[in-house]
Chain A
Amino acid sequence: MNKILDFWRRFRQNRAAVGGAAVLLIVLLVAAFGPWLYPTDPFDMVGRPISAPFGKFPLGTDISGRDILAGLIHGARVSLLIGIVASLCATVIGVTLGALAGYYGGLIDDLLMRSTEFFLTIPSFVLAVVIVAIFSPTVVTVTTAIAVVSWPSVARLARAEFIAQRDREYVQACRAMGMADWQIVLLQILPNALPPVIVVGSLMVATAILTESGLSFLGLGDPNVVSWGYMIGVARTVLRLAWWMAAIPGVTILITVLAINLVGEGLNDALNPRLKQR
């Protein structure tokens, strides 16, 4: 409890991060409860196509007469779900590989780091496009594709942390006590290596949401769910007629991603106080 209070005290000092956290909380609540509070189906044709915002429908309707506000609310669910789950998977993969490479070193390290560099170099968005295109777009394939292209940065970071820790005295003490490698890695080093990983993982959610929106803009979204990128893609065809139709979901993405980035920087300040010089 004391630790949480301490964390909050430090997080609170970054005003922007607190603002970001508040916005993010609202988006999370909308994603969780919005569909109940505003039960309009985002796929239903509820009114005249392309009606402007602030009329019968709070944010207007799209080219098929679907309620844009309903789309935003349901889209929040998809964007956050994919962003968070993909980042979690990428973090777990990255930490596992980074820990193995950093703790054992040698051949394992060489092999894992070469593949990490490989995935860092190749155009990750193109790879994600190909993966989703091959396996047909569903929430699961989109999430998997984003996780597959996102883990390398975590792996690099985790490796550096494990290298920094593996020869510390407490680790040597554990070895002297005859502790198994997996116990040392999981129970001793990992908790110490975690703070920077949490920061990178949280910032990754923002990137993942941007990637997801790009994929669904290209038509590589799950056809059974509404997402923000898909809404922009639909609105693109009537840009001359109704620019606001593309503007609204874009602003939503921008605000959400900005909020996550601010929270990430706040986490950095709170979790890695040593790194904060200025």
Chain B
Amino acid sequence: MSPATLSFIVRRLAQVIPVVFAIATMNFVLVHLAPGDAADILAGMAGHATPEFVAQLRREFGLDLPLYQQFFIYMGKLLRFDLGFSYIQQTPVLNLILDRLPATVILMVSAIILAMTLGIVAGVTAAMRYGSWVDAVISVGALIVYATPVFWLGLMLIVLFAIKLGILPSGGMIEIGSGKSGLAYVLDVVWHLILPASSLALFYVAVYARLMRSSMLEIYTFDFIMTARAKGLPERTVAWSHAARNALLPVVTLAGVQLGHLLGGSILVETVFGWPGLGRLVFDALLQRDLNLLLGILFISSVVVVFANLLVDLLYGFLDPRIVHK
């Protein structure tokens, strides 16, 4: 690793700190914008609460302190990874989230891989057959998918593949009570992953296909493509080895930028398929009005996206060695 790359990594890591601080500040502001505080909620749960009892709770939680002191206490807690307590589920918020995070990550990563593969193939194919009926079908298909609500797509896939055809499971992550382990367990998860991952991926297939197509068409005008063709290389080689490699960069950039958006889609898809990730946790928290948990999810998911973005930035240099970190 060159010194330039190393210093780039260090600087990029340093940039993350103010962002995480900003996320924490936003969370603090949101907590205090909410009507009623933790003491009100707990008192409400206890049924009949005297004003003295509520005041006592406020003192216990430090809610009677000046706002700036509460802010410092809040930040101190976050530094110790203390996201508060979910009084409804009687568990620390962080534990609830960490339990569910892996399932969401599995879903998101599968969706990205699926979307990238299909989107790139579709985009390159459309560009190779520019103006033909293949191009038209891909472009119109992308337009339609682009306008489809992700949760509705999930429901319709359930109707088709689980209810009508009966070939795929309609929800969950594993077959309940099957007691599978090892490879059988992994295959079972993959089996359950097909529909949710496809629902989540399809929108991005459209996005990447459109971007890849226009990116390819732009590259096709460059001289080095003409050279490759003049050398008598087969069109397939020109498209995939010469044009597509160069057209790929904008797609990777966009995929990185859209991680936050993908997480939003994941929440909806998980709700539809009963996938046991953060999305289901959001849905449960909404039903039970568990604001502490909701804010914790917002905080953790934001931090995860920020770090994933960092990772994409670092990978970028490996993908395109021409990029020099200044």
Contacts and interface: CB of A to CB of B under 8 A. Distances in A.
Partners in one complex: yes
Interface string B1-40: 0000000000000000011001100000010011100000
A262 B143 CA distance: 9
Given A133-B291, A243-B159, A121 B268 contact: no
B37 to A, nearest CB: 12
B146 A261 contact: yes
A127 B309 contact: no
A246 B157 CA distance: 12
Interface of A: 114-115, 118, 120-127, 129-131, 133-135, 206, 210, 213-214, 217-220, 229, 232, 236, 239-240, 243, 246-247, 250, 253-255, 257-258, 261-262, 278
B267 interface: yes
Nearest to A137: B286
A133 B294 contact: yes
B291 A134 contact: yes
Given A121-B306, A122-B302, A126-B282, A131 B30 contact: yes
B76 interface: no
A126 B146 contact: no
Interface of B: 18-19, 22-23, 30, 33-35, 143-144, 146-152, 155-156, 158-159, 163, 217, 257, 260-261, 263-265, 267-268, 271-272, 282-283, 285-287, 289, 291, 294-295, 297-298, 301-302, 305-306, 309
Give the residue among B143, B152, B298 with the most A Cβ atoms within 10 A. Answer: B152
A125 B147 contact: no
Contacts of A219: 286-287
Contacts of A131: 30
Interface of A, helix, strand, loop or mixed by DSSP? helix
6 contacts: A118-B22, A122-B305, A206-B147, A236-B272, A239-B163, A243-B163
Given A239-B159, A243-B159, A250-B155, 8 more contacts: A130-B295, A214-B149, A217-B151, A217-B268, A218-B286, A219-B286, A229-B149, A253-B147
Contact of A129 (B22, B272, B282): B282
Contacts of B23: 118, 122
A48 B73 CA distance: 57
A135 B294 CA distance: 13
Contact of A253 (B152, B159, B257, B302): B152
